[in-house]
Amino acid sequence: MNSDIIIIGAGPGGYETALYAAKKGLSVTLFEERRAGGTCLQEGCIPTKCFCRSAEVADTVADSQTMGIITSAPTVDMARIVARKNEVVDQLTAGIEFLLKNKLITYVPERAELLDAHSVKSASGETYTARHMLIATGSTAKIPPIEGSGLPGVVTSTQLLDIDHVPARLCIVGAGVIGLEFASIFRSLGSAVTMLEFAKEILPNFDTDISKRLKQVLGKRGIEFFNQAGVKSIEPNGPALTVRYTWKNQEHTVEADTVLIATGRAPRVEGLGLDRVGIHYSPKGIETDDNLQTNVPDIYAIGDVNGRCMLAHAASFQGRKVIDHLLGEKSNIDLHIIPSAVFTRPEAGMVGLTEEECKQRGIAFTAKKSLFRANGKAVSMGEPDGLCKLIADENGRIIGGHIFGAHAADLVQEVSALMNRGTTIAQLKEMIHAHPTLSEVLQECAREF
């Protein structure tokens, strides 16, 4: 079978690119060995947000007395939480599969392997050809070489999403986005949570002001942090587990019922036939240029597999950029402005440069902050913990936005939109914001300049 483009992988990057290509009149053959939706829908963004919502409800009920609502203490039904998560995933998966019933899209629910620059072989042995290839195979959980990481009770985020109980004691190795979200979730559901992070700060890629304050607030919620901690081994201890780690030049242990390994993701490159075709790649992912093109003409790679930015929305827009490039159409997509968020309680969000990055690159900048505790909506919501930080270059143009607090993930999108249009701090000051809203923290921050 011949088509204009073959896409390997039906995650957000793959299936959204397929739909966009078909809308542009291109014929597509789309391969997926698992379920449509990829990591994001099946074991990442969407399932964890289901858990986040359950945790938020548990917190709301537990805190209801402060709002004048008297209730009994909440009881957590983990089986029902998981069942609801599965219902949401199934509903959205069915929706994607329905969209893929497009006359220009041939959906093949099988694994595909590259034969050459223009053809692949499916798991069932059929050969498919196309003028262009797009690799969008995503990533897998990265497991460090820790002795005992294969023991029962030691899980990845995928396995934790199907757990049938709330662990009394949860130890999380890695305080990045994945680790922190699960720490916040299971603390709300009743777990005692200990986090072991090798780096100096949590959320190493976030602005230090945000990561430090988020750590402080999560610590007040009872999550215990050990930064610059090196995990040495995990050992069975009856029905429990003992995690051995070094911290401040001494060996320590922590007992846990479940240990989550949350040390990041690795590009899914195995078994694709990259070596056969001569595609350049490394442990960081498939090498691509600014058009997401590999060193082999007509083969592109998007999303987690190229290691540029492991976010679902980054993959989707990289795919759009590829199709625009293939069709010779001008694209205004700026892949340097990609917002990201951490759905802890409170949330954290960022876009653009951090203060540390500006210093490293020698960029002249000004940074100012505003606090949620001065925002009427935040205080009335009972969510006064929060910080907004804006960074502007020497011309006053906004080059970075960093927020932690209620609905930070939504608020940072306004900063992203402003940055995409080259907005200055002076212009933001003059944009009327509704009152009372959380978004006023952005305008108040601008007024600090």
Average confidence score pLDDT of the chain:
96
The response to whether 92 counts as a known ligand-binding position is no
Question: How high is the pLDDT of residue 381?
Answer: 95
| Alpha carbons 156 and 141: distance in angstroms, whole number | 7
pLDDT string in tens for the chain (449-residue length): 799 999 999 999 999 999 999 999 999 999 999 999 999 999 999 999 999 999 999 999 999 988 999 988 889 999 999 999 999 999 999 999 999 999 999 999 999 999 999 999 999 999 999 999 999 999 999 999 999 999 999 999 999 999 999 999 999 999 999 999 999 999 999 999 999 999 999 998 899 999 999 999 999 999 999 999 999 999 999 999 999 999 999 999 999 999 999 999 999 999 999 999 999 999 999 999 999 999 999 999 999 999 999 999 999 999 999 999 999 999 999 999 999 999 999 999 999 999 999 999 999 999 999 999 999 999 999 999 999 999 999 999 999 999 999 999 999 999 999 999 999 999 999 999 999 999 999 999 999 99
**Neighbour tally for 59: CB within 10 Å:** 17
Question: How high is the pLDDT of residue 349?
Answer: 97
Question: How high is the pLDDT of residue 390?
Answer: 98
Pair (117, 194) in one structural domain: no
Question: How high is the pLDDT of residue 330?
Answer: 92
Structure tokens that stand for 107 in this block: 């959906």
Is 280 one of the catalytic residues?
Answer: no
The response to whether 25 counts as a known ligand-binding position is no
| Alpha carbons 131 and 117: distance in angstroms, whole number | 9
Pair (302, 178) in one structural domain: no
Question: How high is the pLDDT of residue 229?
Answer: 95
Pair (249, 118) in one structural domain: no
Question: How high is the pLDDT of residue 301?
Answer: 98
Question: How high is the pLDDT of residue 109?
Answer: 95
Domain that holds residue 83: 2-141+266-326
Pair (122, 270) in one structural domain: yes
Pair (96, 168) in one structural domain: no
348 has which bridge partners? 342, 404
| Alpha carbons 167 and 57: distance in angstroms, whole number | 19
Q: How many structural domains are present in the chain? A: 3
The response to whether 178 counts as a known ligand-binding position is yes
Closest C-alpha among 15, 436, 432 to residue 446: 432
The response to whether 264 counts as a known ligand-binding position is yes
For residue 432, the one-letter residue type is I
Residues 413 and 337 sit within 8 Å (Cβ to Cβ) = no
State the pTM of this model.
0.95
Residues 128 and 29 sit within 8 Å (Cβ to Cβ) = yes
**In this structure, what are the phi and psi dihedrals at residue 234, rounded to the nearest 5 degrees?**
-125, 130
Residues 161 and 47 sit within 8 Å (Cβ to Cβ) = yes
The response to whether 176 counts as a known ligand-binding position is yes
The response to whether 410 counts as a known ligand-binding position is no
The response to whether 147 counts as a known ligand-binding position is no
225 has which bridge partners? 195
DSSP 65: G
Question: How high is the pLDDT of residue 73?
Answer: 82
Pair (134, 273) in one structural domain: yes
Residues 380 and 368 sit within 8 Å (Cβ to Cβ) = no
339, part of any domain: no
341, part of any domain: no
**Neighbour tally for 243: CB within 10 Å:** 25
Burial of 252 (0-12, 13-18, 19+ CB in 10 A): middle
Pair (80, 168) in one structural domain: no
Question: How high is the pLDDT of residue 282?
Answer: 95
| Alpha carbons 266 and 262: distance in angstroms, whole number | 12
**In this structure, what are the phi and psi dihedrals at residue 139, rounded to the nearest 5 degrees?**
-145, 170
User: What is the biggest distance separating any 2 CA atoms in the chain, rounded to whole angstroms?
Assistant: 67
Question: How high is the pLDDT of residue 72?
Answer: 85
Domain boundary among 242, 263, 284: 263
Cα pseudo-dihedral 429, 431, 437, 438, rounded to 10: -50
333, part of any domain: no
Burial of 422 (0-12, 13-18, 19+ CB in 10 A): exposed
Which CATH number covers residue 287? 3.50.50.60
Pair (16, 123) in one structural domain: yes
Domain boundary among 263, 283, 301: 263
Q: Does the N-terminal peptide bond of residue 47 adopt cis geometry, omega within 30 degrees of 0?
A: no
Q: Which long-range contacts (CB under 8 A, 24 or more apart) does 381-384 make?
A: 381/406, 382/63, 382/66, 382/67, 383/346
Structure tokens that stand for 38 in this block: 């990829």
Pair (166, 256) in one structural domain: yes
**2-39 pLDDT, tens per residue?**
999 999 999 999 999 999 999 999 999 999 999 999 99
The response to whether 137 counts as a known ligand-binding position is yes
Task: Please tell me which residue in 165, 280, 336, 435 is annotated as part of the active site.
Answer: 435
The response to whether 58 counts as a known ligand-binding position is no
Pair (6, 137) in one structural domain: yes
397 has which bridge partners? 424
